[in-house]
Amino acid sequence: MKRKTDEAESMTLTNLPIGRDARVTAVNGTGSVTRRLLEMGVIPGVAVQVVKMAPFGDPIEIRVRGYSLAMRRTEADAIEVSY
Amino acid sequence: METNGHKSHLTIALAGNPNAGKTTLFNALTGLKQKIANYPGVTVERKEGSWVVNGETANLVDIPGLYSLDATSLDEQIARDVITGNQAGLPKPDVIVAVVDATNLERNLYLVTQLFEFGIPVVIALTMIDVFEKQEHEIDVEMLSVLLKTPVIAINAKSGRGKNQLAAKVAEVVHTTPAIPYVYDEAEDEAGPHGKIFARYNFISSVVQDSVWHSDQKSHRISDKIDRVLTHKFFGLVILVAILLVVFQTIFSWASLPMDMLEKGFGAAADLVRSQMPPGILTDLLADGIIAGVGGVVVFLPQILLLFLFISLLEDSGYMSRAAFLLDKLMSRVGLHGKAFLPLISSFACAIPGIMATRTIESRRDRFATIMIAPFMSCSARLPVYTLMIGAFFGGRYVFGFISLGAVLMLAMYALGVFVAIIVAFILKRTVLKAPPPPFLMEMPPYRWPNFRTVFQNMFTRAGLFIKRAGTVILTLSIVLWAMMNFPRPSQNDVDQITAEVEQTCNCPPEEAQDKIETLVKARMLDNSIAGSIGHAIEPAIAPLGYDWRIGIGLMSAFAAREVFVSTMSILYNVGRDGDAENESLLQAVRDAKGDDGKPIWTPLLAFTTMMFFLLAMQCMSTLAVVRRETNSWRWPIFMTVYMCALAYIVCLIVYQGGKALGYG
């Protein structure tokens, strides 16, 4: 997996401000969750946006490839983005 | 479907992402000619139907909705087996119809790129294209077809657009060798373990780039506007609670009208049998065993139909995933999925529709944990028992002078059920159902008007499945239970003796005397019956809870349905078969009941213990039948019975003995 941790704006999806357009730089991990994320189209290079958070701050909803995907913060933490 | 062995018959697999309109298309193609079963040994549903292709009847197999075929989940494993022809009883499909949602093209095509790899001809059914065009995007269907080297047919299941073209195309590609639009070269694999996924998406991106024109308009606009309200941090929750209240109100109280009518209808049918046939075992079997047993199955139908009407509406419209989104944090603290909320709320009315509703939870372990705790929600069948106990011992008492003690106790039972359920869920998820927390990756589909045909079909399919699978078990158990309570029959000697006694001691009109005799004979029969013998036999075991053999029989009869406890106690205390929970003579009889040693059996402490027992113990055979059906094994219902009854016994033992030690006995 390509990792660009040296980039200044690099962060995970969890702390990406709501509504900000960003691009996925890396999806960390090797387990089935990572695989599922990739299969759902969250792969390095794809445009992504955090749409909103649930009432208790978790899960979050993201927009990727024209559809909405909800995930918990634990999953979102594995997704690195830059903008 | 007699497809086995006949070469002339076609097998066609229908595959697609969840929410892509697969069910709607399946219904549109097959109509009502469907059969639903489980794949052997698992809870994944196997749906097949007949579809006429080119004048020939093909067998259309609906593969579970999935995002990928990489066999990491049970659904994916089964889908793979169906496609490769490794699923017992299903020949390898001749053609795969891939349902692709035009509004969500990239992710939907991912599954299609995987389907290409099996060497089976694929025809793509492109759904939601009208929605897509309304959003002022354009899609070049021909170009898409050329790039994918695969026929693409635009479909509208509702209007029927494209149905015939789809059938014609399927007939055309049968027995052809499909062209594969992209080849992944394993040898050039430099992108790490997920290189294949990246390659597939790269291919898809190039296809979409050349066949789709997006307008500047954001595609989810209307959904976004609705979502601003429905998933709002405050109003979203308010609306969710309101929706849940409507669901609860409907199945708890509005369903009771048709249920009462059904109960009365079956009661009348039983009375008719009794009045038209000579008294005897056959009449009793028909009236009290079979008719009551069938009634006991049918009576659940209003609740099941109504609950599944709501579930279908909520799922089809896209709201269900919003509800799960809102509640996930709350439910995940206990280790449950956000979608567990609706089944658990429904279980307050009745655990049976509630357990059937867990179907919406995809993860097996999450689903089973929800099933295992659903019976702790105080269902409506427990109410008569609570009412009897409160009426007999806690009626007319007040806390702080104005809060009715009965209401406090009633509320306590509901709250305690929830509390126990939370603890049990917590323990189960760390022991028997232990698993790494399942990934919570849930698509939030755009809001859509539910398709009413799909909604109603779903409703009636569920009801039909309940009758077929659970109904047969419930009916059998009702007859067994009836036999246990009716055999052996009292001898003519006993009847004569009782008749003589009543005539001697009772100076009452003949009609009243006859009633009395009947009740006494019935009580004697229960006492001598198999159930009675078991009641006597288990007395030593239940004595520490303060129970005698009569209550033992009552507990056993409660297995038919919890509220039957009330009418059984009514017979055993000689009040008559029609005693209900608010009948003053039954309340008095309970208060006056003496044990074999002459001391009163019932005390407020024992009444409270009994309420606890009914709250915690698994004593509903219909629930067990449904759990058997939904988990596809006897292991889970047996486990449920054992752990719930053990829990009930221990808690009641502590409450009763502790209460006695503190002087409340």
Query: pTM for the complete prediction?
Result: 0.81
CB contact under 8 A, B107 and A56: no
Do the chains contact at A33 and B329, CB–CB below 8 Å? no
pLDDT digits (tens, 9 = 90+) for B367-404: 999 999 999 998 888 888 888 898 888 877 888 877 88
Q: b/e per residue, B312-334, with b = 16+ CB within 10 A?
A: bbbbbbbbbbbbbbbbbbebbeb
Interface test with chain A among B103, B444, B447, by most A beta carbons within 10 Å: B444
Which residue of chain A has the CA closest to B438? A33
> Higher pLDDT residue, B612 or B214?
B612
Residue B24 has pLDDT above 50, yes or no: yes
Closest by CA to B25, choosing from B115, B126, B108, is B126
Count the residues in chain B.
665
**In this structure, are residues B529 and B486 in contact, taking their beta carbons and an 8 Å threshold?**
yes
Mark yes or no for CB contact B72/A35 under 8 Å.
yes
Cα of B76 to nearest chain A Cα, Å: 12
Range among B332-341, B537-546, B642-651 rated most confident: B642-651
- What mean pLDDT is reported for chain A? 86
Which tokens belong to B362? 């995809």
What does the pLDDT read at residue B301? 87
Mean pLDDT, chain B, as a whole number?
A: 85
Q: Is 70 exceeded by the pLDDT of residue A23?
A: yes
Q: Distance between CA B622 and CA B476 in Å, rounded? A: 11
**pLDDT of the residue at B454:** 83
Which of A50-59, B52-61, B284-293 bottoms out in mean pLDDT, i.e. has the lowest? B284-293
Residue B165 token pair: 């073209």
Within 8 A of A30 by CB-CB distance, chain B residues are: 193
**Crossing angle between the packed helical segments B221-230 and B235-249, to the nearest 10 degrees:** 80
Q: Tell me the chain A residues in contact with residue B231 when contact means C-beta distances shorter than 8 Å.
A: 52, 54, 61
Whole-complex ipTM? 0.89
B314 has a pLDDT exceeding 70? yes
Question: With contacts defined as CB-CB under 8 Å, which chain A residues touch B326?
Answer: 54-55
Rounded Cα–Cα distance for residues B165 and B289 (Å): 54
Classify strands A60-64 and A79-82 as parallel, antiparallel or unpaired: unpaired
pLDDT of residue A4: 46
pLDDT of residue B575: 67
Q: Quickly tell me which residue has 């609570």 as its tokens.
A: B386
Question: What average pLDDT does the segment B50-76 reach?
Answer: 87
**Of residues B580 and B612, which shows the higher confidence score?**
B612
Contact B355, B630 (CB under 8 A): yes
Over residues B204-257, the pLDDT tens digits come to 999 998 888 876 555 556 788 898 899 888 999 999 989 988 887 887 778 888
Token couple for B168: 């014609």
pLDDT at A7 over 50: no
- Give the least confident one: B114-128, B299-313, B583-597: B583-597
Check residue A8 and give its pLDDT. Answer: 47
Strands A47-53 and A60-64: antiparallel
What is the structure's pLDDT at B388?
A: 86
Question: Residue B198: which of A33, A26, A43 has the closest Cα?
Answer: A43
Quote the Cα angle for B157-B163-B166, to 5°: 125
Q: Do B107 and A41 touch (CB under 8 A)?
A: yes
Strand partners, A60: A53, A71
Name which residue leads in pLDDT, A35 or B490.
A35
Work out the percent of chain B whose per-residue pLDDT is above 90.
28
Residue B137 pairs with which residues in a beta bridge?
Answer: none
Whether B407 shows a pLDDT value over 70: the answer reads yes
Mean pLDDT computed over A30-55:
90
Tokens of B108: 């939907």
Which residues are A53's β-sheet partners? A60
- Looking at residue B191, what is its pLDDT? 62
Q: Can you spell out the DSSP letters for B378-400?
A: --GGGHHHHHHHHHHHTTT-EET
Contacts of A61 in chain B (CB under 8 A): 231, 325, 444
Supply the pLDDT for residue B186.
67
Q: How far apart are CA B412 and CA B264, in angstroms?
A: 32
Other beta carbons less than 10 A from residue B653's beta carbon: 15
pLDDT of residue A1: 46
Give the helix/strand (H/E) hosting B457. Answer: helix B452-465
Contact A65, B106 (CB under 8 A): yes
Model pLDDT, residue B33 = 72
Considering just the CA atoms, what is the radius of gyration of chain B in Å? 30
- The enclosing H or E element of A48 equals strand A47-53
Please write the tens of the pLDDT for every residue from B522-545: 888 888 889 888 888 989 999 999
Q: What is the DSSP letter of B600?
A: B
B325 CB near a chain A CB, below 8 Å?
yes
Whole-number Å distance between alpha carbons of B450 and B21: 11
Which residues of A fall within a CB distance of 8 Å from B198?
38, 43-44
Instruction: Tell me how far apart the alpha carbons of residues B432 and B72 are, in angstroms, rounded to a whole number.
Output: 21
Token pair for B450: 């539910």
Kindly report the nearest CA distance between residue B630 and chain A, in angstroms: 26
Determine the 3-state secondary structure of B433 from DSSP.
coil
User: For the ranges A19-28, A33-42, B517-526, which has the lowest average pLDDT?
Assistant: B517-526
Give the SS3 label for residue B356.
Answer: helix
| Distance, CA of B622 to CA of B404 (rounded, Å) | 33
Judge whether B262 is closer than 8 Å to chain A, CB to CB: no
- The predicted pLDDT at position B43 comes to 67
B394's CB contacts (< 8 A; 6+ apart) are B405, B406, B409, B604, B607
Q: What angle do CA B244, B245, B248 make, to 5 degrees?
A: 85
> Which of helix, strand or coil describes residue B594?
strand
Q: Which pLDDT does position B396 carry in this prediction?
A: 77
Q: Give how far the C-alpha of residue B104 lies from the chain's centroid of Cα atoms, to the nearest Å.
A: 31
Q: What amino acid occupies position B590?
A: V
Taking 90 as the threshold, does the pLDDT of residue B649 lie above it?
yes
Q: Which residues of B touch A54 (CB under 8 A)?
A: 231, 325-326, 328-329
Radius of gyration over every alpha carbon of chain A, rounded to an integer in angstroms: 12
CA distances (Å), B353 to each of B252, B456, B469, B562, in order?
11, 16, 14, 16
- The per-residue pLDDT for range B440-478, each reduced to its tens digit, is 888 999 898 888 888 888 888 878 878 877 788 778 888
Burial of B190-223, coded b for 16+ CB within 10 Å and e otherwise, reads eeeebebbbbbbebbbebbeebbeeeeeebbeeb
The stretch A3-29 carries a mean pLDDT of 79
Which residues from chain B sit within 8 angstroms of residue A39, using beta carbons? 67-68, 70, 110, 197
What pLDDT is recorded for position B217?
54
B474/B12: higher pLDDT: B12
Tell me if A32 and B72 make a contact (CB, 8 A cut-off).
yes
Please tell me which residue, B616 or B562, carries the higher pLDDT value: B616
| Section B64-70 average pLDDT | 88
Residue A5 is predicted with a pLDDT of: 46
Average pLDDT over residues B294-305: 84
Structure confidence at residue B576 (pLDDT): 60
Give percent above pLDDT 70 in chain B.
94
Query: Percent of chain A having pLDDT more than 90?
Result: 64
In the block, residue with structure tokens 């709607």: B24
Residue B312 predicted with pLDDT over 70: yes
Give the per-residue pLDDT at B391.
Answer: 86
Say if residue A59 is preceded by a cis peptide, omega within 30 of 0. Answer: yes
Does the pLDDT at position A6 exceed 50?
A: no
State the best of B73, B101, B325, B365 to mutate against chain A, taking most chain A CBs within 10 Å. B325
- Reading phi first (left if > 0) and then psi (alpha if -120 to 50, else beta), residue B102 is in alpha
pLDDT tens digits for B258-286?
888 998 898 899 889 988 888 878 888 88
Q: pLDDT at position B339, please?
A: 83
* Cβ neighbourhood burial of B415 (10 Å; 0-12, 13-18, 19+): exposed
Given CB atoms, is A75 within the 8 Å cutoff of chain B? yes
Say yes or no for a CB contact (<8 Å) between A39 and B198: no
Please give the Cα distance from B618 to B640 (Å, whole number): 7
Q: Which residue has the higher pLDDT, B124 or B437?
A: B124
Rounded distance between C-alpha atoms, residue B595 and residue B586, angstroms: 16
C-alpha to C-alpha distance for A63 and A38, rounded to whole angstroms? 14
